[in-house]
Amino acid sequence: MSGKVAAGGVGIVGVIIALLMNFLTGTNDPSSANIDLGSILRGEVTETSSTNRTFTKEEEELAKFSRQILAGTEDVWTAEFKKLGKTYTPPRMVLYTGSVQTGCGNGSASMGPFYCSADQCLYIDLSFFSSMKKQLGADGDFAYAYVIAHEVGHHVEYLLGSLEEAHEKMSRLNEKEANKISVRLELLADFYAGVWGYHDNQMFGSIEDGDLEEAIRCAEVIGDNYLQEKARGKSVPETFTHGTSAQRMKWLKLGLTTGDISLGRTFQVSESEL
Ligand SMILES: [Zn+2]
C-alpha cells in the first residue's frame, strides 16, 4: 500500500456510543462544521473543514488513502458477514479538520478518530494524524490503515450487537468497572482490525515487508500504559479504557495471523487472558 500516514486512535466512551480518544489535551471547540449527515450515503466519504480552509497536500493524501482503506474494509467485511449468514452495511466516513458535528455530539481534533454508532459514521480528523505522527513517532501506511480498521471494528461490533450490549452494561457500572468493559470492546476492535488486515492481504496482497511490525508498533504506542507514562510519567491501570500495549498488540496480532472472526473472544476470556 502506498500513502502517507501516521498512527493514532481511539479513546473513551462518550455520549452513549461514541468512542473517542482522550489522551491529548485540547479543548473541545464548539464551533462545528455544517455537514448534512442525512445526505451522506452508506459507504460514502465526505470531507469538511470547520475553518473553511482547503486541505493541505498531506491531508489530501491522507484523505485519498483513507478512502482506499474504507473500501478495502467494505470488501472484507461484506465477505465475512456473508460467511456468518449476515449482511454487512458499511459505515460512512467523514474526513474533517478542526471540529465536526456528529450524531454523538461535537467532535474535535483532540479526540482523535472515533466511531459514532448513532449515525454509524467514522470521524477521521486529518490534521490529528499529522500531529500523532510527530508525537508518537509511529509512522507508516499500514499503521494508519490499522487505525481506520480499528474504527471500522467498532462498526462491526455495532452490527454484531456487542457494542450496544457493552454500553448497556457500562451504564449500570461504576467508572472503574465500566473501564474494564471498555478495554474488552477496544481490544475486540483491535482484533477486528487484524482480521481485516489478514483478509485484505488474502484478497489484494496488500501486506508488505515491515507492515505487520508497523501495525504492531502502532498498537504498542497507543496502549494506555504507554500513553499515560509518556504524558504523566506513570500509569494508573484502573483508568485504562483501551488496554495495555501488550494487550493491544496481542489481539491485533491474533486477528492478523488467523483472520478467524470466531477467535475474537475478548468478552469471554478472563481478565488475565486478555
Ligand atoms: Zn476504539
Ligand 1 midpoint to CA 81 (Å): 20
Start-to-end C-alpha separation, the chain: 31
Name the E strands within the chain.
45-49, 92-97, 99-102, 105-108, 114-116, 121-125
- Residues paired with 99 in a beta bridge: 108
Q: Please answer whether residues 90 and 10 qualify as being in contact, where contact means their C-beta atoms are separated by less than 8 angstroms.
A: no
| Better-scored residue on pLDDT, 191 or 211 | 191
Q: Is the pLDDT at 42 greater than 60, yes or no?
A: no
Domain positions in the chain are 37-273
Ligand 1 midpoint to CA 194 (Å): 13
**67-109, pLDDT tens digit by residue?**
989 999 999 999 999 999 999 999 999 988 778 888 888 877 6
**238-265, pLDDT tens digit by residue?**
888 888 989 999 999 999 999 999 999 9
Question: 3-class DSSP state for residue 114?
Answer: strand
Average pLDDT over the chain reads 78
Ligand 1 midpoint to CA 65 (Å): 20
Ligand 1 midpoint to CA 218 (Å): 13
Ligand 1 midpoint to CA 183 (Å): 9
Question: 3-class DSSP state for residue 172?
Answer: coil
Ligand 1 midpoint to CA 213 (Å): 20
Q: Which residue has the cell 489535551?
A: 25
Neighbours of 164 (CB within 10 A): 14
Ligand 1 midpoint to CA 270 (Å): 20
Ligand 1 midpoint to CA 115 (Å): 8
Range 140-158 average pLDDT:
88
Ligand 1 midpoint to CA 1 (Å): 23
| Better-scored residue on pLDDT, 72 or 55 | 72
Range 191-202 average pLDDT:
95
- pLDDT of 93: 93
Ligand 1 midpoint to CA 77 (Å): 17
